[in-house]
Amino acid sequence: MSVHMELAQHAGKQNKMYQQFLKLDNMRETYIEEAVAQCKEGKPFTTDKINEVTNAMNKINLRFTPVRKIVTREMVREYAETLK
């Protein structure tokens, strides 16, 4: 296999991983928004879905993607307070 083909395959693989990262990032933001909305309404909420997606994002090992922090219930409460 030529070097050009190997580089193209490598770039394609990285792009696929990056697209998955972006998809997970959108899911994470949606889950955060849901948790914040529930918190603001005084309803029970959890960060389980947020952190499940966060862990999946952090397993995607690309040098140019940032590591995401695990979200705690307290972090959600503090953020929801700033929106009131």
Q: How confident is the model at residue 62 (pLDDT cuts 50, 70, 90)?
A: confident
Q: What is the pLDDT of residues 5-57, one digit of tens each?
A: 888 888 888 889 999 999 999 999 999 999 999 999 999 999 999 999 999 99
Read off the tokens for 2.
């030529």
Own/partner pairs, 30-37, CB within 8 angstroms, 24+ separation: 32/71, 32/76, 35/71, 35/76, 36/76, 36/79, 36/80, 36/83
Please check whether residue 54 is in contact with residue 69, taking contact to mean a CB–CB distance below 8 angstroms.
Answer: yes
Q: Report yes or no: 24 and 64 within 8 Å, Cβ to Cβ.
A: no
User: Of residues 65 and 80, which shows the higher confidence score?
Assistant: 80
The dihedral through the CA atoms of 80, 81, 83, 84 has a sign that is positive
- In the chain, the number of structural domains is 1
Domain region containing 18:
3-82
